[in-house]
C-alpha cells in the first residue's frame, strides 16, 4: 500500500514505526503528499516519537501507542507494509542530470495524475507549455515516460540508454483506477 492509499482508507488506521528512523521517513512521506498533523502543523516541524518501538501514526493526523489503537479495534499496519516513495517529485526534478531519469506512467489515468502533480509544482514542458496543455500520452501510450528535463519519450529507449526509470509509486503517487466509459449507442441498439 502506498502512503496516499493509506490516507485514502475510509476507516481510521495507523502505521507502527519501530525506530525513530522509520518514523522520520514516514512523516517526511506524509509531508511530501501535503498532509499535516490534525492541528495543521507540518509533519516536518515536529515529529513526536513518544512511544518508542510502539509509536503509531494515523491517517487522521494523530499519534499514540500501538496498544491504544489496538484497544480501539483499529487496524495497525507495520512500517514495512507501506510502499514509501523512493524520492519526492522535487528530488526528481533536482536530479543532477535530468535527461537520465524518468517516470513511467503505464496508463492514461496515471499519466494525467503525474502531469497534474508536475503542474501543481509549477513545472513546465521543455517548450515552456503547461503540463496540462499537452499530455503526450497518446503518442506511445503505455510505453510513455516523462523525464525530469521536461521531455517525454519511450520506455524501450529509456531502458536501452540506461536511464533511471521510476514508477508512480516511487514518487509517492498511486496508480488511479481506470475510468470506465459507456458507449450509449452500443447499449441501445
Q: Could you give the CA distance from residue 9 to residue 12 in angstroms, rounded to a whole number?
A: 7
Give the model's pLDDT for residue 30. 86
Domain limits, the chain: 3-81, 89-171
Give the model's pLDDT for residue 182. 59
Give the model's pLDDT for residue 185. 59
Q: What is the pLDDT along the chain (189 residues), one digit of tens a residue?
A: 888 899 999 999 999 999 988 998 898 888 777 788 999 888 877 667 788 899 999 999 999 999 999 999 999 999 999 988 778 899 899 988 999 999 999 998 899 999 999 999 999 999 999 998 876 666 788 999 999 999 999 999 998 898 888 889 888 887 776 656 556 555 555
Q: Which residues, listed in sequence order, are joined to residue 83 by a DSSP beta bridge?
A: 2
Give which of 87, 91, 168, 93 is closest to 124, Cα–Cα: 93
Amino acid at each position: 500500500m502506498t502512503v496516499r492509499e493509506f490516507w485514502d482508507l475510509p476507516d481510521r488506521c495507523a502505521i507502527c514505526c519501530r525506530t525513530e528512523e522509520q518514523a522520520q521517513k514516514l512523516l517526511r512521506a506524509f509531508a511530501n503528499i501535503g498532509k499535516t498533523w490534525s492541528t495543521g502543523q507540518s509533519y516536518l516541524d515536529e515529529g513526536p516519537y513518544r512511544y518508542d518501538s510502539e509509536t503509531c501514526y494515523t491517517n487522521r493526523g494523530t499519534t499514540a501507542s500501538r496498544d491504544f489503537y489496538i484497544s480501539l479495534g483499529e487496524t495497525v499496519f507495520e512500517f514495512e507494509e507501506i510502499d514509501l516513495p523512493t524520492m519526492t517529485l522535487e528530488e526528481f526534478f533536482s536530479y543532477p542530470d535530468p535527461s537520465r531519469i524518468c517516470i513511467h506512467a503505464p496508463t492514461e489515468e496515471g499519466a494525467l495524475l503525474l502531469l497534474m502533480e508536475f503542474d501543481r509544482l509549477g513545472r513546465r514542458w521543455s517548450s515552456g507549455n503547461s503540463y496540462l496543455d499537452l499530455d503526450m500520452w497518446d503518442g506511445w501510450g503505455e510505453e510513455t515516460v516523462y523525464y525530469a528535463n521536461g521531455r517525454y519519450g519511450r520506455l524501450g529507449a529509456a531502458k536501452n540508454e540506461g536511464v533511471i526509470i521510476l514508477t508512480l509509486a516511487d514518487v509517492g503517487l498511486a496508480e488511479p483506477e481506470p475510468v470506465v466509459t459507456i458507449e450509449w449507442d452500443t447499449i441501445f441498439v
